Amino acid sequence: MPTVPSDFLDGVRDAAPLHLGIAPFGLVAGVAAVEQGLSIFHAIGFSSVVFAGASQLAMIELLGADAPLAIVVGTAVVVNLRMLMYSASIAPYFRNFAARTKALSSYLLTDQAYALSIARYGRDGDTDRFAYYFGVAVSLWVVWQFATVAGALLGTGLPPAWGLEFAAPLVFLALLVPALKDRASAASGVTGGVVAVAVVVAGIPFHLDIIVAAVVGVVAGLAVSSFGGDV
């Protein structure tokens, strides 16, 4: 029988390399919030209540541009829709958790916590599932909160000429590249990107670019996977 602390510590240890990746990402989320005129408390609110970096950055940018609130929230939902996939895939492993544990585990579900835990569960059936997951997820959560606060404190003191808002698309770029893992995903990405540019350049109002681009991009991915013959 594995003990609870050892699986928890395994989780923390396995997540350590990812802490290095999300720390600058969290920093950017904090800097972006104050740059767009939000308070440090809003930055903390986004990181603790929403706790989903890509959607936080997208919402902060849209709020800064005074986009309609329905678009701000709708874009966050679209950006976070991929977690539906994680929820479905990890659900069988969380089946026996108590309701409150399920709620906590759901709140902490991120790309990184999902990827590490699924890999571990597949490798080692004796793992204390919650202990391992909690070790990964809660350590990511702690790093994320500290990084956001640090970014928000730093943000007000940075000269605008440094163009630090450019760090946000760079974070998305770092997430995009590994997502282009096959031909259909590449088609989805290229189509989504081009459609987003077209929507922006055409001056279509209400900042609909991400929502429209996601729909058209997914259709392109499905079309290539159905007709491209590589699945």
Partner 1 sequence: MTTSYDPVTVWGVIVLAGALTFAIRGSFVYLFGRIDTVPPRIKSALEYVPAAVFAALVFPALVAPTGDLSLSLGNDRLVAGVLAALAAWYTERVFVTIAVGMGALWVLRFVV
| Residue numbers 121-160 binding partner 1 by CB under 8 A | none
Three-state SS for 228?
Answer: coil
The correct pick among 2, 13, 16, 85 for binding partner 1 (CB under 8 A) is 85
The correct pick among 169, 204, 205, 228 for binding partner 1 (CB under 8 A) is 169
Count of residues interacting with partner 1 (CB under 8 A):
101
DSSP for 69-116 reads HHHHHHHHHHHHTHHHHHHHHHHHHHTTS-HHHHHHHHHT--HHHHHH
The correct pick among 116, 140, 152, 184 for binding partner 1 (CB under 8 A) is 184
Three-state SS for 190?
Answer: helix
Give the nearest distance from C-beta 222 to partner 1 in angstroms: 6
Comparing CB distances to partner 1, the nearer of 1 and 201 is 201
Contacts of 71 (CB under 8 A, 6+ apart): 62, 206, 207, 208, 211
The correct pick among 7, 11, 30, 51 for binding partner 1 (CB under 8 A) is 51
**What amino acid occupies position 85?**
M
The correct pick among 9, 64, 153, 154 for binding partner 1 (CB under 8 A) is 64
Site string for partner 1, 5-44 (x = CB under 8 A): ---------------xxxxxx--x------xxxxx--x--
1 half-sphere exposure, CB direction, 13 A CA radius? 2
Closest among 151, 165, 149, 153 to 45, alpha carbons compared:
149
Site string for partner 1, 189-228 (x = CB under 8 A): xxxxxxxxx--xx-x-----xx--xx-xxx-xxx--x---
Residues 86-105 that bind partner 1 (CB under 8 A): 86-88, 90-92, 94-95, 102-103, 105
Give the nearest distance from C-beta 57 to partner 1 in angstroms: 8
116 half-sphere exposure, CB direction, 13 A CA radius? 29
Distance CA 170, CA 98 (A): 39
Comparing CB distances to partner 1, the nearer of 9 and 104 is 104
Distance CA 134, CA 156 (A): 34
Comparing CB distances to partner 1, the nearer of 5 and 193 is 193
The correct pick among 29, 58, 136, 140 for binding partner 1 (CB under 8 A) is 58
Three-state SS for 148?
Answer: helix
